[in-house]
């Protein structure tokens, strides 16, 4: 299916808006993880011991994951009722305000335990915003893309985690290199959060210029009618798909957040490496993640989503099993090798999800379905993993973390084996696996 020059130009604008907005959102979300690993244990929980403070700091990172499914349901409701564009503008603004708020927070030294309480509240607001972000960004791209190139265009919001993490790591790296440790702990850590204010302005300008997707206008507003309660309709029509989609994405989130949060802590505390070294390793991992994401997404337009997802998750299983045997061999080179290989396999398994998850669900409740599946998986995979990893190392040894991650990969592979292929180059907007669900919804409305 060829595209006209005007269509190509429109898709370029949509892709740019999608990737810019998602990068900013993930930058805001992941700088918290980096700060939790490097700073928050000392700034907000100074009265606890080193191990306990680290666990609590990582728990504040994880609390946003608990809130994310609520954000997916809330913003999915509006995204399926009033449109994708306006909902995306709201999530970006909410994320930006909460991130800047964290950068302005007084520390425990100034206001005592209330500092930690405010930190958790702002982190929860971040979680709500992130819960509504990904699905909207993915829908804006794939609902405008030709059916035979949804993987390619669905790749752009998938680059958000990689580029956002790279950007946050570079910001922390430059901040830590240009000031003393005392200054960094005192006020330097705030700079990455406050920079978000500038990024949000850019993101809002780009997103406000978007038009609503044609699929929402035609398939939802004109043909089928807007659903009063998308989440209820979703579970009535496609509950099985929600369960399998969630299981299909658990492993990538567990591995990704292990790489960007716990491995940062492990590199500095357990391996004794400097912040600079660990941040550089993280940046290299982010580059590997981006490359893997591009390859996986484009490849899924050639051989199908399911085949690429299974291949990527098998490689993730092998990478997670081998991560700590490599890393514990000692030194920055082995940490670099372990993290780069891990992130590359994650990217391969993550790339096709930008098209795969939306294709599973009918347009009338697609924002809700894709968002809930994605964000429930982040709770079960990403939110728990850094906390579980820190405790497994304390109770057993680093190899136990590898076994835990391999178990998550096994769960994902089982879910994928039970799932259907969604890629159909000539399919309509509803996607190959949801035609009957859409027809049933219309008939029974």
Residue-averaged pLDDT of the chain: 84
Q: How far apart are CA 421 and CA 408, in angstroms?
A: 21
Name the pTM for this structure: 0.84
Give the other-Cβ count within 10 Å of 65's Cβ: 26
Q: What is the dihedral of CA 42, 43, 47, 49, to 10 degrees?
A: -20
Tokens read off for 424 = 């159909």
Q: Which residues contact 110 (CB under 8 A, 6 or more apart)?
A: none
Tokens read off for 348 = 């391969």
Which homologous superfamily is 11-206+220-443 in? MFS general substrate transporter like domains (1.20.1250.20)
Tokens read off for 390 = 């820190």
State CA 5 to chain mean position distance. Answer: 32
Listed range (156-165, 389-398, 414-423) with the worst mean pLDDT: 389-398
Residue 434 has pLDDT above 50, yes or no: no
For the chain, the structural domain boundaries read 11-206+220-443
Residue 5 has pLDDT above 70, yes or no: no
Whole-number pLDDT of residue 6: 62
Kindly write down the DSSP assignment for every residue of 196-260, as one continuous string. HHHHHHHHHHHHHTPPPPHHIIIIIIIII---S-HHHHHHHHHHHHHHHHHHHHHHHHHHHHIII
Taking only the tens place, the pLDDT of each residue in 273-294 is 888 898 899 899 999 999 999 9
Whole-number pLDDT of residue 203: 80
Residue 138 has pLDDT above 50, yes or no: yes
Q: How far apart are CA 282 and CA 227, in angstroms?
A: 43
> 3-state class of 18 per DSSP?
helix
Tokens read off for 160 = 């958000």
Residue 171 has pLDDT above 80, yes or no: yes
Q: How far apart are CA 253 and CA 381, in angstroms?
A: 5
What 3 state SS string does 107-139 have?
A: CHHHHCCHHHHHHHHHHHHHHHHHHHHHHHHHH
Taking only the tens place, the pLDDT of each residue in 223-275 is 666 778 899 999 999 999 999 999 999 999 999 888 877 787 788 888 888 88
* Residue 57: band (very low, low, confident or very high) from pLDDT cuts 50, 70, 90: confident
């Amino acid at each position: 299916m060829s595209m006209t020059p005007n269509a190509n130009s429109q898709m370029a604008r949509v892709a740019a808006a999608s990737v810019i907005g998602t990068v900013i959102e993930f930058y805001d979300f992941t700088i918290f993880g980096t700060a939790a690993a490097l700073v928050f244990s000392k700034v907000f929980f100074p009265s606890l011991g080193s191990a306990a403070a680290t666990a609590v700091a990582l728990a504040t990172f994880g609390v946003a994951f608990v809130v994310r499914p609520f954000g997916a349901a809330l913003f999915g409701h509006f995204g399926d009722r009033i449109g994708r564009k306006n909902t995306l503008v709201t999530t970006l603004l909410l994320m930006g305000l909460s991130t800047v708020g964290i950068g302005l927070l007084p520390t425990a030294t100034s206001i005592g335990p209330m500092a930690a309480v405010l930190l958790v509240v702002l982190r929860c607001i971040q979680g709500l915003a992130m819960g509504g972000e990904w699905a909207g960004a993915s829908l804006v791209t794939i609902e405008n893309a030709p059916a035979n190139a949804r993987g390619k265009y669905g790749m752009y919001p998938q680059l958000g985690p990689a580029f956002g993490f790279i950007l946050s790591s570079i910001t922390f790296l430059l901040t830590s290199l240009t000031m003393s440790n005392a200054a960094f702990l005192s006020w330097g850590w705030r700079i990455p959060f406050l920079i978000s204010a500038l990024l949000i302005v850019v993101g809002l300008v780009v997103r406000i210029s978007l038009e609503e997707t044609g699929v929402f206008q035609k398939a939802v507003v004109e043909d089928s009618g807007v659903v009063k309660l998308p989440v209820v309709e979703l579970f009535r029509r496609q509950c099985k798909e929600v369960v399998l989609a969630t299981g299909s994405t658990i492993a990538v989130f567990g591995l990704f957040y292990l790489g960007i949060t716990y491995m940062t802590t492990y590199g500095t505390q357990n391996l004794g490496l400097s912040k600079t070294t660990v941040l550089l390793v993280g940046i290299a991992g982010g580059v590997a993640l981006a490359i893997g994401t591009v390859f996986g997404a484009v490849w899924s337009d050639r051989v199908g989503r399911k085949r690429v997802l299974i291949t990527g998750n098998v490689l993730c299983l092998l990478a997670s099993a081998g991560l700590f045997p490599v890393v514990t061999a000692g030194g920055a080179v082995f940490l670099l090798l372990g993290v780069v290989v891990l992130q590359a396999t994650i990217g391969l398994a993550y790339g096709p999800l930008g098209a795969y998850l939306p294709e599973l669900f009918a347009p009338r409740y697609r924002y809700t379905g894709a968002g809930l599946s994605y964000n429930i998986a982040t709770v079960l995979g990403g939110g728990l993993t850094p906390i579980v990893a820190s405790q497994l190392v304390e109770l057993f040894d680093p190899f136990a973390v590898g076994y835990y991650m391999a178990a998550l990969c096994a769960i994902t592979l089982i879910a994928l084996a039970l799932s259907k292929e969604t890629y159909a180059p000539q399919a309509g907007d509803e996607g190959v696996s949801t035609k009957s669900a859409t027809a049933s919804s219309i008939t029974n409305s």
